[in-house]
Amino acid sequence: MTFDIISVVPELLDSPFQHSILMRARKQGLIEINLIDLRAYGSGPHNQVDDYQYGGGAGMVMMVEPLDKCISELKSKHQYDQVIFLTPDGQTYNQQTANQLSLGEHVMIICGHYKGIDQRVRDMHITMELSIGDYVLSGGEIAAAVLVDSVARLIPGVMNDCSSALTDSYQDNLLAPPVYTRPSEYKGHEVPPILLSGNDRLIDEWRLDHAVAKTKELRPDLLADDLLADD
């Protein structure tokens, strides 16, 4: 899968993609991440990509022309499953959207900056607008790293154990159950005996019961009404 990321400061994304799981996935050719510097499409001696907003008000706005040139050039070379704009007023990103995106082959991600991007870019090019939470960041680069990481780990071969991502929190609208590793006892705290029993059926039932209980306590909004009523 290929991610093309447009940014005013692509250097902010160097580190997240050069370590750990994503680095290995890139080396294995499972994912490709291209960082595109929007300033290459800016104008004037300073490669300008932002300007004051019409109507007055604080904050600069990313200009329509550099973004349109950049996006149009990329679209002339590639077929995109989605052209994504990361913005606080987009739909809230969740695991189901990550699952959907992981089935694609090529996505473009546009990192907002300053006060945002000219609305005409959104009208002409954007197919999906996403927010990673109800707060505002200085730019979309951190959100882009979140998006790529959460999607890439779902691609077959990226995780050492392909079943690991499928048992994460939010798959099937449940939080993950408690997990334990060695030693089996530490400072008087013991691992639940059932996890040491070797009985896969009972272990699966225990994990499901605790996942449901944890979700009811911490995120009841994720559960279907019938599960909430089943105590």
Per-residue pLDDT in tens (0 to 9) along the chain, 231 residues: 999 999 999 999 999 999 999 999 999 999 999 999 999 999 999 999 999 999 999 999 999 999 999 999 999 999 999 999 999 999 999 999 999 999 999 999 999 988 999 999 999 999 999 999 999 999 999 999 999 999 999 999 999 776 666 667 677 889 999 999 999 999 999 999 999 999 999 999 999 999 999 999 999 999 865 455 555
Measured CA to CA, the distance from residue 117 to residue 66 in angstroms comes to 11
Residue 83 lies in a domain: yes
Same domain, yes or no: 11 and 63: yes
Domain count, the chain: 2
Same domain, yes or no: 182 and 101: no
Residue 143 lies in a domain: yes
Residue 224 lies in a domain: yes
pTM: 0.89
Q: Which domain holds residue 178?
A: 169-229
Domain end call among 152, 182, 204: 152
The Cβ of residue 95 has, within 10 Å, a number of other Cβ atoms equal to 17
What residue has token string 């499972």? 30
Structure-token pair, residue 49 = 């990509």
Q: Is 224 exposed, middle or buried (0-12, 13-18, 19+ CB in 10 A)?
A: exposed
